[in-house]
Structure 1
Amino acid sequence: MDPTHHQLPGDQPDAAEEKHFAEHDEAAEIIDVNATEEDAPMDEDDDDVDDVAAAGAQDDDDDDGMMELHDDSVQGFFEHKQPVHCVALHPTHPTIALSGGEDDMAYLWNVATGERLHALAGHTDSVITAAFNMDGSLCATGGMDGKVFVWNSATGAQVAALEASDEVMWIHWHPKGNVLLVGTNDGQAWLYNLPSGNVMCILAGVHTAAVTCGQFTPDGKRVITGAEDGTLAFWDPRTATPVFKYTPDDGRWFQEEVITAIGVHHNSNIAVVGGSEGTARAINLTNGNLLASFSAHSSSIESITFSRALPIAALASTDNNITLFDVTRMAARATLRHEDAVIKAQWTADGLHLVSCSADRTVRVWDARTGAQLHRWMGHQEPILAMDMTANGETVVTGGDDGVCLVFSPLAPAPAAMAGSSMAH
């Protein structure tokens, strides 16, 4: 293979690559969206979304600081002996889950029964990231030991052992094939071809500190990465070179902030990037123009994800809030509130409902059109650290600091609260 040109799955000319996002392609300057303005409806056909707090979001504290312990879960997995850092659901068999934890173990297990299917051993430090490939035939786990293992999802057999250059920060599968992207603590991102495990290329030379977040664009043609040193790079993985980059030397970019989260629109033409101090930037990926700069939160933004039906990105933060940001108007449309840090927010496939998990030990389901809270589930005794769900939102799996994985479903009746149970905050 030519080392300067790496063929990726589905790597063919695509007319959609030229499709521009809304009306922001020729933006010549940043829009400062923090100025106060009167909100207008997102669309004539959409319900207007006001700035709303969570309906029914009151906690269950009593006067002496004790909290009644409810368990709304419909199933659980209890073999992890220490905090669970990552969970993932199989893309085509939604009863199969993957989890990894601080006990250096990963497991494949049955969501319906809680039964262990396969124990995935081999890591010598915490398993902090895990994911299935596009069809679920393979899954991968990454650890603080600098190792990535790829497994056969059906048998649990190890397919490949990948040695990264440093502690693994995250992994991300190509959306159309068996290429795995791995971000590491030393400022690099690696592309591996599976099942061979061969290194396709190394994305290096931009970041000087840990690559804290990154992913393939949904069309699979580009890679975007952000780092602890505040740099962002948009890569052509076929040549392992950046198409464009931003650094703190650019006065319009993040200053003294770690880049903590990246979300890319499903058309692969706009990204929203979040930082450790709660500020964010919107970027046109077709030309590299900076579209907007805004203070979305007062502390770190932990996840960013786009709706497929509404022109909205959901930004989840450790300041206990989720901002619904309208990327057509470049303005915040709503605030959804937890009682503690929000770890992740994820859209259902219809793009109308958002599911979030928090250190307040709850999972919540929201109607993004109205801001109404539809469900609020409890069950963990410690903060929730990870979450994934089926595309229709009918099954949600969480991993907690209590070493437990729980399953929640809006289709199942919630169990009654445990009589007489209480716990201190």
Structure 2
Amino acid sequence: MPPNDTPPQSPNPLSGNEEEDEELYEDDVLEEVPVDGTDPVDEDNGEFEDDEDDLVELPGGLDQLEAIVENMNQPIDNSNCVFKEHGKSVFTCSFHPEIETLCVSGGEDDKAIVWDSVSGQVLHKFDDWKDSVNSVKWSNDGQHLAICDMAGTIKVFKYPGYSEEWSFEVGDINFLNWHPVANVLFCGTADSELWMWKIPSGDSKLFQGQGEKTECGEILADGKRAICGYNDGSLRLFDLKSGENLYTINKGVAHVDVVNSVSCHMNNSIFLTGSMDGTAKLWNTSSGKCVGTLLCGVREEENSSSSVECVVFPKDKTTTYCVTGTLDGIVTVWDTPTQISRHACKIGEGVSRLAVHPGGDLVYASTLDGEIKCLDLRTGNPVRELSGHRGPILDFSFSSNGQSLLSCSDDGTCRVYNITDTS
């Protein structure tokens, strides 16, 4: 038994034969960890070792990673020409009715630009505007270009040369259209007015509503009458020569919410309206009587999730169908005599515009998620998808030969697509 004053044996393994034990101990050491917490140093090159050699830090950090992921999710761009001159949202675009590659666009940058749809070359700029350019329209003979901005300024320019022929100022403009035959210009305003001017003389006529915004309007195929839809859901038919209001269909009888769109059949006997209430309705042109209701949502109701944003008839006197496009992204082909749906197709997150191709058998529909779908009217089957935009499509137009489509978007670009194989 050790003496009482003998300390206990140390647990240090170096006790005993210290030189031999120290040599054995050093051979068994896996790693020296400095007491100051610094990383071990590689004696071969003097650099810090890293157990995660496969990890690469992005110079841009999280923002760069998010950009990479976003680019991976971008749609394939199958356009032939991308026009980026505006830089901000482009609200309106139009092909010249006779020159296949001549187009014009206008947008949030307070400019209208004429450019070549093949090369993207800028041909002329109109930049003397007070506010965003929200409508550009070539006359049907291609000799006049009408442009308006959100401040209510309208100007008409002579083509070629782009000399200013006429100008006028009204209230906020909701739509601008040319007469289908004559050089007569129309616009609907937030002041419940429909204006009509002869160009270039400027002789005018004013058609009053009932105090609600004039949301949409179209000239009938006979060129003698115009139908307007209003913010409160009402409708009015006007005689263009006399200025007389032929009849009014009041809110509740017509629609219970905003009339978004109107289209007239080429035979002059019926017209079609689409409303935020989730219905499209067929009307007898002569009597103003409703001859059919196309239910696009669950029921007719205010602020429907199936708001009918667009309606269209093909430009054919013998056609027996019409097309609707809704906010929930449904394009439906309807049989007009029976009011039965022939085909219905979900195309995206919201239909922003509809147009039947000049060939007559295809309908194009643009969406708020930046795509344009082409559907066969006879079968309802998708034929082609035009992609590349990164924002809602706000307008599109066909070239005079029907072989190209021009679109513009909230993403600040216009795009031109070759649609020869679908026409």
Normalised by the size of structure 2, how large is the TM-score? 0.78
8 Å Cα contact 1:119-1:156 kept in structure 2: no
What is aligned with 1:284? Answer: 284
5+ long unaligned stretches in structure 2: 1-68, 298-304
Task: Give the number of equivalent residue pairs.
Answer: 346
Give the 5 Å matches for 1:326-345.
326-345=335-354
Counterparts of 1:350 and 1:65 in 2: how far apart (Å)? 36
> Residue type of the partner of 2:174?
M
Cα distance in 2 for partners of 1:183, 1:365 equals 30
User: Do 1:283 and 1:291's aligned partners in 2 also have CA atoms closer than 8 Å?
Assistant: yes
Shift of 1:311: 1.6
Contact 1:208/1:229 (8 A) holds in 2: no
CA apart distance, 1:326: 1.4
1:367 aligns with 2:372: no
Report the CA distance between 1:182 and its aligned residue: 0.8
Following superposition, the deviation at residue 153 of structure 1 comes to 3.0
Note the C-alpha offset of 1:354: 0.8
* Mapped pair 1:230 → 2:267: no
**Would you say the 8 A contact 2:98–2:400 is kept in 1?**
no
Describe how 1:123-272 pairs up with structure 2 within 5 A: 123-164=129-170, 166-199=171-204, 201-204=205-208, 206-248=209-251, 251-255=252-256, 257-272=257-272
Contact 1:211 1:226 in 2 (8 A): yes
1:74/1:412 contact within 8 Å kept? no
**Residues in 2 aligned to 1:236 and 1:68: alpha-carbon distance in whole angstroms:** 49
Q: 2:37 — aligned with what?
A: none
Q: Which residues of 2 match residues 383-394 of structure 1 at below 5 A? A: 383-390=392-399, 393-394=402-403
Q: Distance in 2 between matches of 1:277 and 1:64?
A: 36
Is residue 142–residue 170 contact of structure 1 (8 Å, CA) maintained in 2? no
SS of aligned partner of 1:343: strand
Return the offset for 1:334.
Answer: 1.2
* 301, 306, 317: which one aligns with 2:308: 301
Q: Match of 1:351? A: 360
Structure 2 distance, partners of 1:270, 1:116, is 42
Offset at 1:234?
0.6
Q: Which has the larger radius of gyration?
A: 2
Q: Hey, what's the Cα distance between the residues in 2 that align with 1:350 and 1:410?
A: 12
Q: Report Cα offsets for 1:126-166 as digits up to 9, x if no partner.
A: 111221111111011122101111112322222211112x1
2:49 is matched with none
RMSD across aligned C-alpha pairs, in angstroms?
Answer: 2.0
Distance in 1 between residues matched to 2:344 and 2:395, nearest whole Å? 21
Query: Secondary structure at 1:272's aligned position in 2?
Result: strand
The percent identity for this pair of structures is: 28
The letter for the 2-side match of 1:207 is Q
Letter paired with 2:119 = T
Whether the 8 Å CA contact 1:348–1:391 is kept in 2: the answer is no
Alpha-carbon shift at residue 392 of structure 1 (Å)? 5.1
Deviates more, 1:173-182 or 1:114-123: 114-123
Contact 2:99 2:400 in 1 (8 A): no
CA contact 1:211–1:228 (8 Å) conserved in 2:
yes
Which protein, 1 or 2, shows the higher relative CO under an 8 Å CA cutoff with sep ≥ 6? 1
1:77 and 2:83 are equivalent in the alignment? yes
Going from structure 1 to structure 2, the CA distance change for 1:357 and 1:239 (only over 3 Å counts) comes to same
How far apart, CA to CA, are the structure 1 residues paired with 2:71 and 2:330?
A: 23
Residue 375 (structure 1) shift: 0.9
Q: Distance between the aligned counterparts of 1:391 and 1:312, measured in 2?
A: 24
Q: Which amino acid aligns with 2:372?
A: V
Instruction: Measure the CA separation in 2 of the matches of 1:196 and 1:230.
Output: 34
| More moved, 399-408 vs 312-321 | 312-321
Contact 1:120 1:156 in 2 (8 A): no
> Secondary structure of 1:356's match?
strand
Structure-1-length-normalised TM-score: 0.78
CA contact (8 A) 2:398 2:406 kept: yes
Q: 1:64 offset after TM fit, Å?
A: 9.4
Could you list the structure 1 runs, at least 4 aligned residues long, displaced by more than 6 angstroms after superposition.
none
Aligned-partner residue type, residue 359 of structure 1:
L
1:391 CA drift (Å):
5.3
What is the SS of the residue equivalent to 1:71?
Answer: coil
Q: More deviation in 343-352 or 308-317?
A: 308-317
Aligned counterparts of 1:123 and 1:237: Cα–Cα separation in 2? 30
Q: Distance in 1 between matches of 2:122 and 2:83?
A: 8
